[in-house]
């Protein structure tokens, strides 16, 4: 009697665990089945810039764009890492017009000299992909918080310096990779004026908060940029790539890495899938009326009021100009 009851319990537990695993597997496959960019656009004779393209989502974006025939400028801070990626891309796509141009977004001087070199040596700019990003403490070479400095300010200056060329080559696009994490961000102009950063602290949690703030900056930047570009045939978009297996967590503590590893391997998509919404924003025909909008899963998304706040976006633009020494 007793042993039969135990046997039933065991069988029941086994059944429950199996059902749980199957459910998890189905959920995972459903979750990872993301839409793909269906555009057949070819890019022969066009020039694109992808920042942070030596690895992760930037690299798979560069691969796709070079497969379409574009001249791809790999705007990266580390020559060796970039050259290694370039040789992979050339091998994989057969396109030899993939070139390294040094860009460290954590140095405004580097952004300026990148823009100068680019404008002197290249004739076109059809698509600018502001992709680079990190979640790392410390300050940039200009004494600005690293996350705010690289994710927002460097890309802000880069885009502004390239706008005239984008206008000359219109229709053209500016695509900025942000994150759903922007929903947790806020823009604290007081903190920004005292610390040249949007928050203080260096714990994993503090860095994540700074990261969300910087991604909200990406949203507001795109919102304001779209207004400034009205009537030019240059359009701009922001997007979340989804949860993607890349090197983005490389500066996080080992405890965090250990804890997140199982979730990462189960639920995060590969970098090729992770590039699809970037590619959609860069290539999809007919989305021009949606300039300034936010996309994910290859579709336009609604955004919270604070990610499209006209006054905050305008002020952020002006503060960014000051921090870049432009006014």
Ligand X SMILES: *[C@@H]1O[C@H](CO)[C@@H](O)[C@H](O)[C@H]1NC(C)=O
Query: What is the per-residue binding string for ligand NAP in 62-91, x denoting contact by CB under 6 A?
Result: --------------xxx--x----------
Q: Does the footprint of ligand X cover residue 168 (CB under 6 A)?
A: no
Site map for ligand X, 284-303, x if CB under 6 A?
A: --------------------
Q: Extract the tokens encoding 71.
A: 């001249």
User: Do 200 and 206 contact (CB within 8 A), yes or no?
Assistant: yes
Q: Which two tokens stand for residue 13?
A: 């537990």
E strand or H helix at 119, and its extent? helix 108-121
The candidate with the shortest Cα–Cα distance to 111, out of 160, 165, 39, 58, is 160
Q: How far apart are alpha carbons 237 and 282 in whole angstroms?
A: 8
Binding residue for ligand NAP, selected from 43, 49, 58, 144, defined by CB under 6 A: 58
Contact between 170 and ligand X per CB under 6 A: yes
Q: Does 103 bind ligand NAP (CB under 6 A)?
A: yes
In the list ligand NAP, ligand X, none, the entry touching 232 (Cβ below 5 to 8 angstroms by class) is: ligand X
Backbone torsions φ then ψ of 208, nearest 5 degrees: -65, -40
Q: What is the 3-state secondary structure (H, E, C) of 272-299?
A: HHHCHHHHHHHHCCCCHHHCCCEEECCE
Q: Is 233 in the site for ligand X (CB under 6 A)?
A: yes
Are 296 and 197 in contact by the 8 Å Cβ rule? The answer is no
| Cis amide linkage into residue 171, ω under 30° from 0 | yes
Q: Name the nearest CA neighbour of 183 among 237, 240, 226.
A: 240
Contacts of ligand NAP in 116-145 (CB under 6 A)? 131-134
Segment interacting with ligand X (CB under 6 A) among 39-47, 182-190, 231-239, 279-287? 231-239
Q: Please indicate whether residue 211 is annotated as part of the active site.
A: yes
142 binds ligand X per the rule CB under 6 A: no
| Footprint on residues 286-325 left by ligand NAP (CB under 6 A) | none
Catalytic residue among 2, 7, 184, 211: 211
Q: Report the partner that residue 104 touches, choosing among ligand NAP, ligand X, none (CB closer than 5 to 8 A by kind).
A: ligand NAP
CB of 233 to ligand X, least distance (A): 4
Q: Which three-class secondary structure string do you get for 189-223?
A: HHHHHHHCCCCCCCCHHHHHHHHHHHHHHHHHHHH
Cα 252 from Cα 203, distance rounded (Å): 9
Q: Is 240 in the site for ligand NAP (CB under 6 A)?
A: yes
* Residue 39 binds to ligand X (criterion: CB under 6 A): no
Select from 247, 270, 288, 310 the one that contacts ligand NAP (CB under 6 A): 247
Least distance between ligand NAP and beta carbon 255 (Å): 19
Q: Is the peptide bond before 77 cis (omega within 30 degrees of 0)?
A: no
Taking the complex as a whole, how short is the minimal distance between the CB of residue 178 and ligand NAP, in angstroms? 7
Residues forming contacts to ligand X in the complex (CB under 6 A) are 170, 231-233
Tell me which residues are annotated as active site: 211
């Amino acid at each position: 009697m007793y042993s039969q009851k135990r046997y039933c319990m065991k069988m029941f537990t086994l059944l429950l665990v199996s059902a749980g695993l199957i459910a998890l597997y189905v959920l995972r496959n459903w979750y990872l089945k993301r839409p793909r960019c269906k555009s057949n656009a070819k890019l022969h004779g066009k020039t694109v810039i992808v920042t942070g393209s030596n690895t992760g989502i930037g690299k798979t974006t560069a691969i796709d764009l070079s497969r379409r025939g574009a001249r791809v400028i790999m705007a990266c801070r580390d020559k060796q890492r970039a050259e290694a990626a370039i040789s992979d891309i050339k091998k994989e796509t057969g396109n030899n017009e993939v070139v390294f141009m040094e860009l460290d977004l954590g140095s405004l001087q580097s952004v300026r000299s990148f823009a100068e070199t680019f404008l002197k040596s290249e004739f076109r700019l059809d698509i600018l992909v502001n992709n680079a990003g990190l979640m790392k403490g410390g300050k940039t070479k200009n004494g600005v918080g690293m996350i705010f400095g690289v994710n927002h300010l460097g890309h802000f200056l880069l885009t502004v310096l390239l706008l005239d060329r984008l206008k000359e080559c219109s229709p053209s696009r500016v695509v900025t990779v942000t994150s759903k994490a922007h929903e947790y961000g806020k823009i604290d102009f007081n903190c920004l004026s005292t610390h040249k950063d949007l928050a203080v602290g260096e714990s994993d949690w503090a860095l994540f908060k700074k990261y969300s703030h910087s991604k909200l900056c990406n949203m507001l930047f795109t919102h304001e940029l779209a207004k400034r570009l009205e009537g030019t045939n240059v359009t701009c978009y922001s997007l979340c790539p989804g949860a993607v297996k890349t090197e983005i967590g490389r500066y996080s503590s080992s405890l965090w890495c250990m804890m997140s590893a199982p979730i990462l391997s189960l639920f995060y998509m590969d970098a090729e899938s992770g590039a699809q919404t970037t590619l959609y924003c860069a290539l999809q025909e007919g989305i021009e009326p949606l300039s300034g909008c936010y996309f994910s899963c290859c579709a336009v998304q609604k955004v919270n009021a604070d990610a499209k706040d006209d006054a905050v976006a305008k002020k952020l633009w002006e503060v960014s100009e000051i921090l870049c020494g432009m006014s």
